[in-house]
Chains A and B, each alone.
Chain A
Amino acid sequence: MSTEHALTASSYIEHHLSFNVKQVAGGGFWSVNFDTLVVSALLGIVTFGLLWLVVRSATSGVPSKRQAFVELMVEFIDEQVKGIFHGDRHKFVAPLALTVFVWVLVMNAMDFLPIDIMAWIYLHVFGQEKFRAVPTSDINTTFALALSVWLLMIFFSIKVKGLGGWIHELFCAPFGSNPLVWPANFLFNLIEYVSKPLSHSLRLFGNMYAGEIIFLLLGMWAATGLAGTIFGALLGAGWAIFHILIVVLQAFIFMMLTIVYIAMAHESH
């Protein structure tokens, strides 16, 4: 942690919550959060690369322990998909669920890294003054995932029911096809279509962001002396242990919502 300039509680938190922004072109939208992109891409490559390595040598005989672990995860996710989605899930929906679960899980798990030690490493090893390691506490990531799922949802709706069927559903569900209730139906569907990606992405973002802030607040105990540092470390350990639940749970919830939204898109009303 940098101590060159005056360190206050708000500067500490602000430092940890600042993205490593790289401007691509002038203007607000045209920049990227370098840290989010690098971490999520690295995690994606490493995790799915490992999965691929395990799967490449998968045998239908007695599985190795690594294969058994991957199979356990795949079967677990397959069970969830089977319970919600009725159709050929192996072609797209189940792999999608696996992707979402694994990727979100490892991105969330970056929250376990001790923030101040990592900040020191980012600064002195990689020369990055600002670096946020948890991609899912970047609203860009969660919105990217949720909106991708949202687009898939609309895509499958149109694919399954046809464009006419989808528009028909927009106006004729849930209250019926009477022209008098068309505006109400459309309003309901509009709210649904807006609220789905919002709740989907903000739930994950909020949990991870709040988790990060609590780690930061607990880290500030270190400013109160040795006793405070130890107390803060204990609390931090406790929160980290509890955070294991949140990390896995949020990844699971994100995956389940993905499946549910895609499954709902396949059903006609």
Chain B
Amino acid sequence: MNITLTIIAQALSFAILIWFTAKFVWPPLLAAIESRQKTIADGLADAERAKHDLDMAAKRSADILREAKDKAGEIVANGEKRASEIVEQAKAQAKVEGDRIVAGAKAEVEQEVFRAKEQLRTQVSAIALAGAGKILGREIDAKAHNDLLDKLAADL
């Protein structure tokens, strides 16, 4: 149990080991650890940011979706309104057209009636004239009795 030269030799070994550790063991390992810590921290920050971005995107997409729905609803409502307008317009137009056709038809019918009447009248007057001639036994001078014939025709 003597203190001998061993103590100096051991102190020297100790010094060499400290130097070795401080120079070759500690710094590279620390660098590796710190670099990994940085990587992990960056990764976590990225994940956090991505999560935030995702939230934002989800919110935005929900907004856009709602907007689109509103717009679509508006468009459908407009379309319906326009359709009913068109229908109303068409109805009104059809009514006008129908009325016009009916009026035209009526006028034509009246004209036809009138013409038929005219024809009938002239024929009746001719018949009357022929009948009268037969009754009288002689030819009636159409020219001489024109006034009479016209009067007759007008009375018919």
User: B9 touching A91 by the CB < 8 A rule?
Assistant: no
User: B32 touching A60 by the CB < 8 A rule?
Assistant: yes
Residue among A32, A61, A95, A145 having the largest count of chain B Cβ atoms under 10 Å: A95
Q: A55-B28, A148-B11, A148-B15 are in contact. List 4 more A-B contacts (CB 8 A).
A: A55-B25, A60-B33, A67-B32, A71-B33
User: B10 touching A140 by the CB < 8 A rule?
Assistant: yes
The interface-forming segment of B16-24, B60-68, B123-131, B141-149 is B16-24
User: B13 touching A41 by the CB < 8 A rule?
Assistant: yes
Q: Mark A18-29, 1 if CB is under 8 A from B, else 0.
A: 000100100011
Give chain B residues whose Cβ lies under 8 Å from the Cβ of A33. 4, 6
A window 17-48: CB within 8 A of B: 21, 24, 28-33, 36-37, 40-41, 44, 48
A74 at the B interface (CB under 8 A): yes
CA separation between A29 and B4, bound complex, in Å?
A: 4
Are A144 and B28 also in contact (CB < 8 A) when A37-B9, A139-B1 are? no
Give chain A residues whose Cβ lies under 8 Å from the Cβ of B4. 21, 28-33, 140
B29 at the A interface (CB under 8 A): yes
Size category of the binding interface on chain A: 35 or more
Q: Looking at the complex, which one of B7, B13, B28 makes contact with A58 (CB distance below 8 Å)?
A: B28
Q: Mark A68-103, 1 if CB is under 8 A from B, else 0.
A: 001100110010000000000011101110110001
Size category of the binding interface on chain B: 20 to 34
A171 at the B interface (CB under 8 A): no
Give 22 A-B contacts (CB < 8 Å), ordered by A residue.
A28-B2, A29-B4, A30-B5, A31-B4, A32-B6, A32-B9, A33-B6, A40-B10, A51-B21, A51-B25, A55-B29, A58-B32, A60-B39, A61-B36, A63-B36, A74-B29, A90-B26, A98-B26, A99-B21, A103-B17, A139-B1, A145-B11
Residues of B at the A interface (CB closer than 8 Å) are: 1-11, 13-18, 20-22, 24-33, 35-36, 39
User: A143 touching B3 by the CB < 8 A rule?
Assistant: yes
B34 to chain A, nearest CB (A): 8
Are A59 and B32 also in contact (CB < 8 A) when A48-B17, A48-B21, A95-B18 are? yes
A111 at the B interface (CB under 8 A): no
A231 to chain B, nearest CB (A): 31
Are A98 and B13 also in contact (CB < 8 A) when A140-B4, A141-B6 are? no
User: A140 touching B17 by the CB < 8 A rule?
Assistant: no
CA separation between A145 and B31, bound complex, in Å?
A: 28
CA separation between A45 and B24, bound complex, in Å?
A: 13
Give chain A residues whose Cβ lies under 8 Å from the Cβ of B31. 58, 60
User: B25 touching A90 by the CB < 8 A rule?
Assistant: no
A214 at the B interface (CB under 8 A): no
A window 123-143: CB within 8 A of B: 135, 138-141, 143
A132 to chain B, nearest CB (A): 11
A52 at the B interface (CB under 8 A): yes
B43 to chain A, nearest CB (A): 12
A56 at the B interface (CB under 8 A): yes
B14 to chain A, nearest CB (A): 5
A window 158-193: CB within 8 A of B: none
